Amino acid sequence: MLARDPSPPPLPAEGPIVAKPARGNESYIALVWRRLKRSWTGMAGLWLVVLLLVMAVFAEFLAPMDPKATDVGFAPPQLPSFHDKDGNFVARPRVYALADSADLDPVTFQPVVGPDYDHPRLLGFFTEGAPYKLFGLIPANRHFFASMDGQPVHFLGTDKFGRDVLSRAIHGSRVSLMIALTVVFIITVIGTTVGTVSGYFGGRFDIWMQRFVELVLAFPQLPLYLALTTLIPVTAPTNVFLAFVIIVMSALGWAQMSREVRGKTLALARIEYVRAAMAVGATDRRIILQHILPNVMSHVIVAVTLAIPTVVLLECFLGFLGFAVKPPLISWGLMLQDTATYSVIGTYPWILSPVGFVLATVFAFNALGDGLRDAVDPY
Amino acid sequence: MTVVLAESFAPTVRHDHDGRQDQPIIDARNIEVAFKVEHGVVEAVKDISFQLYRGETIAIVGESGSGKSVTARAVMGLLSRRATVSPKSSICYDGQNILKFPESERRKLRGNRISMIFQEPMSSLNPIYTVGSQIVEAIRVHRKVSRRQAWARALELLRHVQIPEPEARLKQYPHQLSGGQRQRVMIAMALANNPDVLIADEPTTALDVTVQAQILNLIRNLQKELRMAVILITHDLTVVRKFSDYVYVMQHGAMCEHNVTERLFADPQHPYTQRLLAAEPRGRPQPLPEGSGAILEANDVRVCFMLRHGSFLKPDWRELVAVDDLGLKLCRHETLGLVGESGSGKTTFGQALLRLIDTRRGEIRFDGQPIQGLSRNEMRPLRSRMQIVFQDPFSSLNPRMTIGQIIEEGLVVNSIGATRAERVDRVREALVSAGMPGDILSRFPHEFSGGQRQRVAIARAIALEPEFILLDEPTSALDLSVQAQIIDLLRKLQDERGLSYLFISHDLKVVRALCHRVIVMQHGKIVEQGPVDEVLTNPKTAYTERLVRAAFDVA
C-alpha cells in the first residue's frame, strides 16, 4: 500500500510495538480547534459570533438608552466629538444635540437647526442611565457607554418615533438571534432524529419518510408563511405570536437538515465499524447513539452554523413584511419595516442601520461554518 | 552496452552499476523532498540517488510511507504544492537537469518522454470521456497530427496492449471496462508517444492476482519491444524479483540498499532489507487435534441481491446470485481458507455465515444449533461466541471512540464483567494478547499505524473470548512485514485459545501459512476444496492453477 500524499511522518519500525502517539493524546475538540485556528475567516467568524451573543445577552447594559424612550423623531446620528465650541481639542468625548437656534432662515423662514455647542453632553463608560433589570432579575442602571448625566444620545440617530436606533438594534439582536437559535435547535433535533433513523433502518420506512420530506421541501414557502401567520388572530399576545412564528419556521425547515443527515447516515451504516458493532451484538439503539450519531455530529454542527443565517434573513424578510414579530418586541426585521417607504430612506438613511447588524450576523455564522467544515474531519 | 533479453522471467540485463560507459537516461542525485505541515516540515525523501539506463527495469521497493511514490512524482514533476525539492537535488534526463526546467518545458516531457502509470485504474481515467478520446488527447497534446491519424494510432496502441476487440473499446467509457482492461488503457496512454522512461507506480496493487501477472508481463514485453527504461515502484517482492534488473530499497525516505536484483535477493546487506525479505509469510499451522467436532456447518446457503434494470416506469428486477448454494464445515481449532478473486462472493458468504447478511435459503449451524432463521435479537446471545475482523483497519474502528471504548463495547453489550474495573482488566488482557501495550485505553485509533489498528481490531474480537472468528482479508491492507507479524499473532492466538478461523483471502501465500483446508470460490460457486497442500501443489482446475501461479511463481 502506498502512502497518501503528502507522506505521513516516518513511523518507527513495527518490530517491537511501541504505542506511538501521532501528536500526543489529543481529544477531538482539541484537533478541531487547532485546525479551525488555521482559517482566519473562520476565527473572525467565531469572534464575531461570540460578540453577537454577548451583545444579545447583555443588551440592556450595552445599549446606551432605553429602546422605548422617545425623543425627537428622525434625529440624525450624533458622533462622539473631541472638540468644543471653538474647535479646540478636549479630552472628554461629547456629543452635541441638535437644537433650535432662535434664528429663522432669512429665505425660507424655517427655524435654523444646528449643534447646540452650549450644552455638550459628556460621554463616559459605565454611566448611570435608564434603569433596567439585567436578565430580568437584577435591577441596575449602569450602561456601557452613554452620556454621563443620563441625557439622550443617539449614535445611530432615531426612528420616526424618536427612539434610539442603536439601542433598538442591540435589543433587536436578542429577539432575532433567539428566533434563529430556537428554530435551528428544533430543526436540528427533528432533522437529525428523522435523518439517522430513516438512513439507518432504510427499507419501506425510509422510502415513505423521504417522500414526506420531499413534500415538505416542495411546499411553496412564502405563501404558506403568509397564510399561516394570518391564521393567528391579531389580538393574540406577542409571545404567542412569536411562538407561532417559530413553530411555522421549524415545521418547514427540518426537512433539509434531515436530508443531509440521512445521506451521511446511509454511508456510515455500511461502514465496517458499524458492522463490527453488529457482530458483537450491539442493539440498533446503541449503534445509532454510539456509532452513527457522533460521526454525523460534525456535519450537523456545520449545517447548524449555516442554517442560522438563513433563519436570521428569513426573520428579517418576514419582519419587513410585518409577519414575524409584533411590537412591543423589537427585532431587526421589524425595525426595517420603517424603511418600506423610499422617500424615508432617502432622507433618513440611518434607519437602515439594522441591515449592518444582519450582514454582520450572516457573515459571522457563514464564516464560522466554512471554517468548521474544513476542521471537523481531522482524521 | 548490449541488452540481451531472454524469454525467461529471470532478469537477464546485467550491468556493473558504477563501471558502465553508457550514459544513464535518468540520473537522479541527492533528491530531497520536504512537505510543509502544521509544525514545520516533514522530510519525505532524503538524499536519494539512482540511475536508470535504457532498456532496463529498476525497482524501488519499500513499505507505505517510505517515500517511493514521492520520488517517482519528483521525477515526473507531479509533486503537490506543499512539497519543496531541495536546490541541491538534480534529476538529469538525457544529461539535462530537468528540475531546472520551467514548467512549460517539463510539461513537454511529461506524458511524452517520461510517462507514468498509476495505482488506481478506476480513478485515473476520466469517466465522462470515451477511452479512445482520452488516448487521442494524450497523443495530440504532444504531437501535431490529424485527428484521424491520432485515432489510428490509438487503435494500434490498444492492439499493442492486447485488449480484445480494440475497435469497439475505443468508443467505450471507462466504466464499461474491467480493472485489468482499464490498466491496459492506462498503459496504452502512457505509451502513446513512445516514451523513453515509463514509471509504473504500483501498477497492479489494485488488481486481482491473476490479472496482476498479465499486466506485468505486458509491461515487460512492451519494454523489450520499445527499448524503454522502466521504474517499477512496488512493495511486492515477488514482482521485484520477477521483473526488475536492479533494486533500490527505501525506508523512511532514505535509501538503505541497492544492488542487482539477483545479488540483493541472494545476499541482502542492510538489516531492513533482510527483514523485508524475511517478512514473506512463512510457517505452517499446527496440525489439527484428533476428532475435533464441527463448530460451524453450512449447507446450500444462497445469498441474492436484487438489481434493478430497465427504466423507472417499467422496472425489471433481476436477481444476482452472489453465493450459490454453498456449504462448508469448520471444525474446532481449524483454519479454513476461503480463496477467490474479487467478486467471487467470498466476503458475502462469510458475512452470511455470521448472519450479518440475510440468506435466501440454506442451513447454517453454529455449534450444532441452527441459526439461519434467528432474528437479530435471537442472535445476540450467540454474538460473543463468533467474531469478525475486517480487511481495512482504518474503517473498522470508530474514529470517535477511544481504544478502550471500542474493545469494551462488546463486553458492555453482552453484559460480561460485573464492574467497569473488571471489564477494563479484560480489555487490557485482550490488548496484551494481541501484542499491544495495555495502557493505550484512552487513545484514539488515528494515533496508530495500520498494523497496530489491526491488532486493536483483533483485540476487540478476542476480548469476547469467541470460539470462532471470521477473518476477512485481515492482512491485505497491511505492509508485508506487518502482515507476517499479524499472521504469527493469529496462529499464536489459535494455539492458546483453541480458536477456529474462517480466513478469507486472495493471497495464497498467507493461506498456506495459516490454513488447514482451503475452499476456492469463483462466481459464487465452489470450484475446488481440500487440504491446503493438496490444493496448492496439485490444483485441479485452471482457475486455481492461475491463482497458485500468481502467488508463488517466481521463476
Q: How far apart are CA A102 and CA B409, in angstroms?
A: 85
**Half-sphere exposure (CA, 13 Å, Cβ side) for A96?**
16
Residues B180 and B321 in one domain: no
Contact A147, A78 (CB under 8 A): no
Contact A329, A237 (CB under 8 A): no
What tens digit of pLDDT does each residue of A174-209 get? 888 999 999 999 999 999 999 999 998 888 888 899
Other beta carbons within 10 Å of B363 = 15
**Which DSSP category does B452 fall into?**
H
Residue B78 lies in a domain: no
Instruction: Quote the mean pLDDT of chain B.
Output: 83
Last residue of a domain, one of A153, A183, A214: A153
Are A286 and B83 within 8 A, CB to CB?
no
At A47 the pLDDT is 93
Residue A9 lies in a domain: no
Give per-residue burial for B67-101: e unless 16+ CB within 10 Å, then b. bbbbbbbbbbbbbeeebebeeebbbbbeeeebbeb
A30 inside 8 A of chain B by CB: no
Give A-chain residues touching B356 at CB under 8 angstroms: 275, 278-279
Q: What are the CB-based long-range contacts (under 8 Å, 24+) for A243-250?
A: A245/A179, A245/A315, A245/A318, A245/A323, A245/A324, A245/A325, A246/A179, A246/A182, A246/A183, A246/A186, A248/A224, A249/A179, A249/A183, A249/A311, A249/A314, A249/A315, A250/A182, A250/A183, A250/A186, A250/A187, A250/A190
Q: Nearest residue of B to residue A295 by CA position? A: B400
Residue A26 lies in a domain: no
DSSP string, B210-228: HHHHHHHHHHHHHHHHHT-
Give A-chain residues touching B398 at CB under 8 angstroms: 273, 277, 290-291, 294-295
Are B388 and A275 within 8 A, CB to CB?
yes
What domain range includes position A146? 78-153
B340: its cell numbers? 477467490
Residue B479 lies in a domain: yes
Q: Nearest residue of A to residue B449 by CA position? A: A11
Q: How far apart are CA B186 and CA B107, in angstroms?
A: 18
Q: Nearest residue of B to residue A11 by CA position? A: B252
Are A28 and B444 within 8 A, CB to CB?
yes
Residue A34 lies in a domain: no
Residues B497 and B366 in one domain: yes
- Angle, helices B450-463/B403-413, rounded to nearest 10 degrees: 20
Are B413 and A286 within 8 A, CB to CB?
yes
Residues A207 and A130 in one domain: no
What's the gap in Å between the CA of A202 and the closest CA on chain B? 15
At A364 the pLDDT is 92
A379 inside 8 A of chain B by CB: yes
At A2 the pLDDT is 37
Contact B357, B304 (CB under 8 A): no
A29 inside 8 A of chain B by CB: no
At B551 the pLDDT is 76
Last residue of a domain, one of A153, A183, A209: A153
Give per-residue burial for B148-175: e unless 16+ CB within 10 Å, then b. eebbebbbebbebbbbeebeebbeeebe
Q: How far apart are CA B548 and CA B209, in angstroms?
A: 9
- Under DSSP, is residue A27 helix (H, G, I), strand (E, B) or coil? coil
What's the gap in Å between the CA of B289 and the closest CA on chain A? 28
**Which DSSP category does B36 fall into?**
E
Are B83 and A276 within 8 A, CB to CB?
no
Give A-chain residues touching B436 at CB under 8 angstroms: 17, 19
Contact A171, A162 (CB under 8 A): no
Higher per-residue pLDDT: A1 or B504 = B504
Quote the strand ranges of chain A, DSSP E. 81-83, 89-95, 98-104, 111-115, 121-134, 138-147
Residue A239 lies in a domain: yes
What's the CATH number where A261 sits? 1.10.3720.10
Are B398 and A379 within 8 A, CB to CB?
no
Whether the complex's predicted ipTM surpasses the cut of 0.90: no
What's the gap in Å between the CA of A268 and the closest CA on chain B? 10
- Pick B398's closest partner by Cβ from A5, A38, A291: A291
Is it the case that residue B96 has pLDDT exceeding 50?
A: yes
Are A2 and B201 within 8 A, CB to CB?
yes
Last residue of a domain, one of B168, B194, B220: B194
- Angle, helices B480-497/B450-463, rounded to nearest 10 degrees: 10
- Pick B388's closest partner by Cβ from A3, A5, A279: A279
How many residues are present in chain A?
379
B143: CB partners within 8 A, 6+ apart: B193
Choose the mutation target among A20, A26, A272, A300 for the interface with B, i.e. most B CBs under 10 Å.
A272
- Pick A2's closest partner by Cβ from B69, B83, B443: B69
Last residue of a domain, one of B194, B225, B247: B194
Average pLDDT over residues B477-501: 84
Are A1 and B479 within 8 A, CB to CB?
yes
Other beta carbons within 10 Å of A97 = 18
Q: Nearest residue of A to residue B353 by CA position? A: A279
B11: left (phi over 0), alpha (psi -120 to 50) or beta: beta
B524 pLDDT tier (thresholds 50, 70, 90): confident
What tens digit of pLDDT does each residue of A99-120 get? 777 777 788 877 777 777 777 7
A203 inside 8 A of chain B by CB: no
Are B354 and A17 within 8 A, CB to CB?
no
Residues B299 and B169 in one domain: no
- Pick B64's closest partner by Cβ from A2, A277, A378: A2
Choose the mutation target among B207, B406, B447, B470 for the interface with A, i.e. most A CBs under 10 Å.
B447
Last residue of a domain, one of A96, A122, A153: A153
A66: its cell numbers? 432605553
Residue A349 lies in a domain: yes
Lowest mean pLDDT among A230-239, A368-377, B251-260: A230-239
- Pick A6's closest partner by Cβ from B80, B388, B443: B80
Residue B453 lies in a domain: yes
Contact A354, A332 (CB under 8 A): yes
What's the CATH number where B304 sits? 3.40.50.300
Residue with cell string 442602571 = A141
Residue A174 lies in a domain: yes
- In 3D space, the residue among A225, A244, A209, A208 whose CA is nearest the CA of residue A326 turns out to be A244
Are A279 and B356 within 8 A, CB to CB?
yes
Are A7 and B35 within 8 A, CB to CB?
yes
Average pLDDT over residues A78-101: 78
Residue B75 lies in a domain: no
At A15 the pLDDT is 40
Q: What is the pTM of this model?
A: 0.74
Give B-chain residues touching A267 at CB under 8 angstroms: none
- Under DSSP, is residue B289 helix (H, G, I), strand (E, B) or coil? coil
| Residues B363/B366/B371/B376 CA torsion (nearest 10 deg) | -140
Choose the mutation target among A18, A270, A273 for the interface with B, i.e. most B CBs under 10 Å.
A273
What tens digit of pLDDT does each residue of B144-193 get? 888 899 999 899 888 888 888 888 888 888 888 877 788 888 888 888 88
What's the gap in Å between the CA of A364 and the closest CA on chain B? 25
B513: CB partners within 8 A, 6+ apart: B281, B282, B283, B284, B285, B487, B491
Last residue of a domain, one of B194, B218, B237: B194
**Which DSSP category does A77 fall into?**
P
A290 inside 8 A of chain B by CB: yes
Residues B495 and B384 in one domain: yes
Contact A145, A125 (CB under 8 A): yes
Residue B493 lies in a domain: yes
Are A281 and B482 within 8 A, CB to CB?
no
Residues A121 and A196 in one domain: no
Q: How far apart are CA A308 and CA A301, in angstroms?
A: 11
Q: How far apart are CA A276 and CA B398, in angstroms?
A: 10
Report how many domains make up chain B: 2
Residue A130 lies in a domain: yes
Q: Nearest residue of B to residue A284 by CA position? A: B376
Residues A296 and A367 in one domain: yes
A53 pLDDT tier (thresholds 50, 70, 90): very high
A39 pLDDT tier (thresholds 50, 70, 90): confident
H or E stretch at A165 = helix A165-201
Give B-chain residues touching A23 at CB under 8 angstroms: 447
Return the ∠ at Cα B79 (arms to B76 and B85), rounded to 5°. 95
At A379 the pLDDT is 53
A8 pLDDT tier (thresholds 50, 70, 90): very low
Contact B191, B198 (CB under 8 A): yes
Residue B543 lies in a domain: yes
Are B447 and A283 within 8 A, CB to CB?
no
Give A-chain residues touching B386 at CB under 8 angstroms: 279
Residues A198 and A55 in one domain: yes
- In 3D space, the residue among B5, B474, B454, B469 whose CA is nearest the CA of residue B220 turns out to be B5
What's the gap in Å between the CA of A24 and the closest CA on chain B? 8
Are B400 and A34 within 8 A, CB to CB?
no
What's the gap in Å between the CA of A30 and the closest CA on chain B? 13
Residue B317 lies in a domain: yes
Residues A122 and A92 in one domain: yes
Average pLDDT over residues B229-246: 86
Residues A256 and A338 in one domain: yes
Report how many domains make up chain A: 2
Residues A221 and A299 in one domain: yes
- In 3D space, the residue among B442, B479, B472 whose CA is nearest the CA of residue B457 turns out to be B472
- Pick B413's closest partner by Cβ from A20, A272, A280: A280
Residue A194 lies in a domain: yes
Q: How far apart are CA A129 and CA B446, in angstroms?
A: 57
What domain range includes position B502? 294-553
A37 inside 8 A of chain B by CB: no
A7: its cell numbers? 507522506
Residues A346 and A200 in one domain: yes
How many residues are present in chain B?
555
- In 3D space, the residue among B369, B336, B341 whose CA is nearest the CA of residue B355 turns out to be B369
Are A38 and B38 within 8 A, CB to CB?
yes
- Pick B437's closest partner by Cβ from A17, A25, A295: A17
For A90, list phi and psi in degrees, rounded to 5.
-125, 150
Residue B303 lies in a domain: yes
What's the gap in Å between the CA of B95 and the closest CA on chain A? 29
Q: How far apart are CA A235 and CA A42, in angstroms?
A: 44
Residues A172 and A149 in one domain: no
What's the gap in Å between the CA of A184 and the closest CA on chain B? 25
Instruction: Work out how many CB contacts closer than 8 A connect A with B.
Output: 154
Are A11 and B409 within 8 A, CB to CB?
no
Q: Nearest residue of A to residue B380 by CA position? A: A281
What tens digit of pLDDT does each residue of A247-284 get? 888 988 899 899 989 988 988 888 888 888 888 888 88
Task: Count helices and strands (H / E) in chain B.
Answer: 19, 21
Q: How far apart are CA B481 and CA B473, in angstroms?
A: 16
What tens digit of pLDDT does each residue of B429-471 get? 889 888 888 888 888 888 787 888 888 999 999 888 898 999 9
Residues B333 and B187 in one domain: no
At A242 the pLDDT is 83
H or E stretch at B546 = helix B542-552
Return the ∠ at Cα B410 (arms to B405 and B413), rounded to 5°. 105
Are B443 and A19 within 8 A, CB to CB?
yes
Q: What is the CA radius of gyration of chain B?
A: 26
Is it the case that residue A295 has pLDDT exceeding 70?
A: yes
